[in-house]
Amino acid sequence: MKSLKSILALSFLFLTATSSLVCSDGLERKDLNEDVVKTVVVSPNGAANFKTIQEAIDYIPSGNSNWIKIILSPGIYNEKIVIPKEKQKIIMQGNSASEVTIQYNDAGLSNSSGPITVNAEYFVAINITFKNYNCSYSTPIIPYEEIKVAPSIILMADMAWFYGCNFISVQDTLADLLGRHYFRNCYIEGAIDFIWGNGQSIYQNCVINVKGVTSKGVVKGGGMLPGFITAQGRENEKETSGFVFKNCVINGDGMASLGRAYRGYSRVVFYETNIANIIVPQGWDAWDYKGQEDKFTYAEVNCIGEGANKSGRVMWEKNLSAQEIDFLIEPKTFIDEDGWMGSLPSSLVSLLSPSSIF
């Protein structure tokens, strides 16, 4: 481990040399220095403070109460990273999601497989690709028999913010398990339950790409097997969780339902989203909760595109009131009622203004 003096010196030199570089979605590195008390750099070739991301995480003191930024140099990081709950207020930033990838070959366990698990509150990721192993197929259609549970990220903590990130896998891609989260300008790819969990999240201006799945064993004579974009796990009417997609785009090579019920009070809303003609007519699936459909909150509001035709939808899709819709699509009321977003570094808070989001 380098001395603190060496680390700070290297960080200063790196930031001085790169302060004019622009990140992939218009964020400059210099704009993200406000409110950050310390910056360290990781590079897979070793030409930085740390060679691995986990080393940088381990360096952060437990009980940290100040924002610390970890800059990821371009490259592929083959790691299995765990951010413990006592390591809060971390900003993990790449220059471009096309240049910085965190990946790991691990599958089978929905709550622990994959490259990164976030247990700490106040986590921010900017311009990073999170990827699990089974995304290297050369064709857009994937054999069902080869698919395994393989999350690209596991979110186990409240108050997380993602900007310009990619999440790539096939099944259980984004494990949005619990807590309040905000995703903006992100790309999410998968086929089966690939945005799932009991999180309370807004997905704003995101692209959702549905991978194609085929199987001779499941579909008689072979053919395309429809997947599921969401599997939200709200368990009772008092829980505040749910997934809200606002101004997103849904496209891809496969067919899918908008969602299926992971728990008995599942809640998912698509608002002003452009939906390609890849959604099965019924739109939603009750899964193991048939007969309890009146408890779900599944809704499509002001969506466009060929896939937004609701003439064949299930009869139990909800028609929400204007008041209910306004509550769900507004960050201040749905995920920021205590004002946690205002405690983010000031350059990030500026991106959350009404004129920036809506």
Catalytic pick from 158, 172, 176, 285? 172
Rounded to whole angstroms, the Cα distance separating 286 from 293 reads 7
Rounded Cα distance between 214 and 223, Å, is 6
Annotated catalytic residue 158: no
Catalytic residue flag (residue 58):
no
Answer yes or no: are the C-beta atoms of 182 and 163 closer than 8 Å: no
- Answer for the pair 274, 309: CB distance below 8 angstroms, yes or no: no
Catalytic residue among 193, 253, 285, 294: 193
State the catalytic residues: 172, 193
